[in-house]
Structure 1
C-alpha cells in the first residue's frame, strides 16, 4: 500500500507537467486503467504485437488507480474489441512500457477515447520477499550480513573505489539489458521467421539439393572455362606480336592504296550514272530471265549427258587424229588443183543444170579456131601458138598459184 501511495503522488506530479502536451493531441487515443503507473512516463513507448505503435500521452490518478492515455499511430488505428494493454519492462532495470495485444480483426472497432482492458503484474516489495523466507533462512541471511560487515570493516575506501570504477560497467550492462528488453519482440519475431524459413527449407529439401547440385556443376564448368581461358591467355602474347607486325606493315599498304583510290575516284564518280543507265536494261532482262527456265532445264540434261559424250570422244579422237594425219599428204597434194576442181564442178553444174519437160539435158558449144588443128594433126602447132601439157593452176590468167609456204605445184 505504501508503494501505491508513492506511485500516486508521482503520477499526480508528472501529470501536472504533461497536461499541456496531452491537450494538444487530437489523434486516435485510448485509455487504460492500471493498478499503478510505476516506472511509466509520458512519452514512453507503446507496442502493438511487438511493433512500436505510439506513445504514452498522459498519466492521471483515477480513484486510487492510474489512468494512462495512449496516443496511437495512424497505421495501427483503430484497435478492436478484445484488445488488452499490459505493462512490461522496457529492460531488466529501468522504465516500463505498454504492450497491446489487439482483438480480432472482425471485432468491433474501439473509437478514439475508448477504454482498453488493462493488466499489470503485482509489484513485489522487499518486505514481501523477506516475509516469504522461513526462520532458518532468515538466520543464515543475518549471519551472512554480519560476516559481510566484518569483511568490509577497514576496506570501505577500496569498496568505494571498486563501486566507482564498476559504475560504467554496470551502466553498460544496464544498456545491454535495456537493449535486450527493447528488442525482445523483434528477437522473438526473428526467431519465428527463422523457424518458418527452416520449415520451408525442410519442405523443399529436394529443390535445395537440385540447386546445390546445379551450383556444383556450374562450378565445374567455371573451372573448365577458367582453364581454357588460361590457355588462351598463354597464346595471347604470340597473337599480339603477330598483330603488331601486321599493324607495322599496314601504313605502307595504306600509302600504296591511297594513290590507287585517288585514281579510281573518277571512275567511281561515274558509277551512279552507269547504274542509272543499267536500270532499264535490267528491267528488260527480267522477262528474259523468266523465259530461261526451259533452256536451263535442257542445259541441265545436256550437262548430265556430257560426261558420257566426253568419255566416248576420248576413245574416238586419237583414231580421228591418226586418220587426219594419214590424209594430210593427199590433201597437201590436191590443194594446188583446188581452183581447177572448183571450175570443173562449176562448169559441170552449168552444163547439166538445164531442165525441160522431158527431163535434164546438156547444152554444149563447139568452138573452132587455130587451136583445133591440134586435134586433127597432133604435134602440129599453128603460128604464134605453143603447147603446155602441164600448166600450173592459175597460169592461164597470169596468177600462178603458190601454197602458204610460197612453194609452187609439186
Structure 2
C-alpha cells in the first residue's frame, strides 16, 4: 500500500518537473525569438502585433516600430518557418481587407543569393507599401469625385442594352489582349531599359515644352510634312518595297560569299599575325633610318645639281648613240652570226689556237723558231737511198721550137731524196708561209695578242 503511494508521488513529481522545464524552455525560446529589422519609407498603416505572412501563411508578427533618420524602422518577430532569409529578401505592407487593416508580406529572396546575417537591416530599397483603397479615395477631391460619378453614369447608360455587343467586342479583343499580355511580359523583362528610356526622354520632353509648346508645334509640323511627302511618294515606295525581297536575296547571297571569303582569309590573317607583331620593331627601325637619312637629304642638293649637269652632258652622247643604233644593230647581227659559227666550231678553233701556240712558243737568242713534227718510218728512209740507173726525161711536146738534147744522166743520192722530202714539208702553200691569207693571219695575231 505504501509502495503504491510512493510510486504515485514519484510520478506526480516527475510530471511537475517536466511541466516546469517545458515552461522555462518556452519562455527562453520566446525571449530568444528571431527578430529581423527592416526600413520603410512609410509604415503608417502598421501597428504592433500585425501579422507577417509568407504566401498567406502567418510566420510572425510586428514587434515594434520607430523612426530612425526619417525612415520607419520595423522590428519583425519571425518563427523558424520563416527561415532561411537571403540578402535580396523583400517586405511589402499589404491590406488585409477594405477596412484598413494591414500585414507584412515577406519574400525570402532568391535561393542563389547569400543568406541574410542576423544583425543586417533590410534597406528601404527592398521594402514597399501598397496603396489601399481608402488612401486612393482620400486623394479624390469633390470635383474629381463628381467627374468620376458622371463617367460611371455615362458608362452605365452606354452599356444598357448593349451587353451582347460588349461581349462580342470582348471576344474579338481576346487575341489582341493576349498579344498585349505578351507585350506586357516583354516590357516587364525590360523594365530597367524602359526606365532609362523615360529618364533620357525627360530632357527631350522638357525641351519640347519650352516657349509655350512652340518647339512641339514645329515638331508636329515637320512630322506632318514628312508624312505628306511619304504619301505623295507612296507609289515609288511600294515599288521599292516590291524590289526589297530580291535585294534581300542578293544581299543574303553576298553575305554568304563574304562569309566564305572570310573563312578563306582567316588562315592568311593568322599567318600574317607574326608579321604584324614585328611591325612595331620595323617601325622603330624605319624611324631610326629616317632620322639618319634627314642629314643626307639635307646635303643632297649639290649632288643632285651635279647629277643634273652630268645628265645634260650625256644627252649628246645618247643622241649620237641613238643615231648609230641602226649600224650598231647590223654589226650586232653580224657578230651574233659569227659568235654562233664560232660556238658551233669552238673545238676546232681552240685546237687550232692551241697547236699554233705550241708550235711558235719556242725561241733562241735571235727570235722565235717554228717547230715541226715529222714522222719517219722505214718506207721513208728507203725512199731516201740512191737508186741505180737514170731517170728518163720527160718527152717534150712536138713543135716546141728547140733542139732536142739528150738527157744527161744524173746519179741519185741521199741529198736528192732529202731535197724531195724537205721540199714537200717546207714548201708553202700559196704565197703565205702559214697557208693562211693575210687578213686571216692579222686576225689570228690580234686574237693571240689581245688586240683588235
TM-score between both structures, scaled by the size of structure 1: 0.27
- The normalised TM-score by structure 2 is 0.25
